[in-house]
Amino acid sequence: MSKYKIAWMPGDGVGNDVMDAAKIVLDAMEFDAQYILADIGWEFWCTEGDPLPQRTIDILKETDCALFGAITSKPRDEAHEELAPELKDKGLVYFSPIVKLRQLFNLHTNLRPCKAYPGNPLNYRDDIDLVVFRENTEGMYGGVEFFPLPESVYDALCENPKMKKWKEVGLENVALSTRIMSKGGCTSICTQAFDYAKTHGRNSVTLLEKPNVLRETGGLMTRIFRDVAKNYEGIEAWEANIDAIMMWLVKNPQDYDVLVAENMFGDISSDLAAGLVGGLGFASAANIGDEYAVFEPTHGSAPKYAGKHVVNPIAMLLTVKLMFDWLGEDEHAANLESAVADVIAEGKVGTYDVKGRGNGNSTLEVAEEVARKVKALATA
């Protein structure tokens, strides 16, 4: 029997392409795992009305972790229009399957490293090494939304007198999205960030919030961050408003180490950080819970490139490295990162985003070059 069982979820668009690349490298490394194909994504929404079928949830429950490619998501009305005709009168509402996975398996921590590898011509600077910790199950992504606004919800919210003015525009014209945060969720993500800083010799943890405007949710996160920081002597605890940090990350990204934020702010800041180190083609992510984890590149499904094998697979390969880290396969993780770094530093093989449109290698050619490097490292 294989040492590990890995749920294999290519998803949509270029998710399939980069997962093909990952398989080339995993096979070259002779990683002892069984890969179990699991259905997820837009195809299954359109044909079944469910982008995350129960059979896939069942597979995940029987595996050690999951590798995931990418998904296509569209607004409510567009999603409804693309349903099979026989499903359109069933009252089905589209949801993001990756968000649902995070909530079903309590994948509370989203870890996104953003590291500038030497030789990457797309680096903003070569001395950037950021890690973003994003709370993964609460905040603006909790899914508690309404349109139109029900009278009962309006009445309850009128406990706050600032709510009453919305009745004037007509509740049928009001949409509401909530930002719900708990003490437990805030404590967990702040603790994860400081633990990582301590374990990896990082000097600072910076909270990204907006407590001067979001006084209750932002205030809760800020108070908890300060309390958690007291337990980590020698690690500096910094605070920055989410708008200001966008400027400071562009001006002085080398000054920052570990960033921690609630769900939406973590999503936004990690994409900016990825842009500093080459773009989403270099940005990996791990969705980590107490007992399970799902690993994914941060880029989307890019439907216009699907099946052409032209997109950068480095984000996916660094995602595999994060999987190795979580599984405790330290030698595999180190060898894979070294191989990726070598390919980037040499600059001989790279996709169009690195070498210029029309001059790039294919997704699979980059994977094959990384595979050659990692095999050489394993036998050295």
Give yes or no: residues 50 and 167 share one domain.
no
Is the C-alpha dihedral spanning 290, 291, 295, 301 positive or negative?
Answer: negative
Q: Is residue 117 one of the residues assigned to a domain?
A: no
- Please say which residue of 247, 276, 305 terminates a domain: 276
For 290-303, how does the pLDDT look when each residue is reduced to its tens digit (9 = 90+)? Answer: 999 999 999 999 99
pLDDT of residue 226: 98
pTM of this prediction?
0.94
Q: Does 148 lie in the same domain as 89?
A: no
In the predicted model, what is the mean pLDDT of residues 102-125? 97
Domain shared by 90 and 130, yes or no: no
pLDDT value at residue 358 = 74
116 within a domain of the structure (yes/no): no
Point out the domain boundary residue: 276, 302, 329: 276
Q: Quick one: pLDDT at residue 143? A: 86
- Average pLDDT in the 105-119 region? 97
- My answer on whether 106 and 169 are in the same domain is no
Condensed to tens digits (0 to 9), the pLDDT of residues 312-337 reads 999 999 999 999 999 999 999 999 99
**Quick check: is 118 in a domain?**
no
Paired with 66 in beta bridges are 7, 294
pLDDT digits (tens, 9 = 90+) for 62-85: 999 999 999 999 988 999 999 999
**Does residue 172 sit in the same domain as residue 182?**
no
What pLDDT was estimated at residue 142? 87
Distances (CA, A) of 90 to 48, 83, 85, 169: 11, 10, 10, 31
Q: What is the pLDDT of residues 131-188, one digit of tens each?
A: 999 999 999 988 899 999 999 999 999 999 999 999 999 999 999 999 999 999 999 9
Both 359 and 346 in a single domain? yes
pLDDT at 359 over 90: no
Structural domain boundaries enclosing 83: 1-110+285-380
Residues 101 and 13 in one domain: yes
CATH number of the domain enclosing 186:
3.40.50.2300
Residues 233 and 272 both lie in one domain:
yes
User: pLDDT tens digits for 2-21?
Assistant: 899 999 999 999 999 999 99
Whole-number pLDDT of residue 97: 94
CB atoms under 10 Å from CB of 174, counted, come to 15
Domain boundary among 276, 299, 314: 276
Handedness of CA 13, 15, 16, 21 (dihedral sign): positive
Inform me whether the pLDDT recorded for 87 exceeds 80: yes
Same domain, 161 and 205: no
DSSP string, 200-213: TT--EEEEEE-TTT
Query: Is there a contact between 298 and 274 (Cβ–Cβ < 8 Å)?
Result: yes
Residues 214 and 294 reside in one and the same domain: no
How many separate domains does the chain show?
A: 3
- Statement to judge: residues 94 and 223 lie in one domain: no
User: Mean of the per-residue pLDDT values for the chain?
Assistant: 96
Same domain membership, residue 187 and residue 250:
yes
pLDDT of residue 357: 74
pLDDT of 230 strictly over 90: yes
Q: Answer yes or no: is pLDDT of 356 > 90.
A: no
Cis peptide upstream of residue 148 (ω within 30 degrees of 0): yes
Distance, in Å, from the CA atom of 380 to the CA atom of 245, rounded to the nearest integer, reads 43
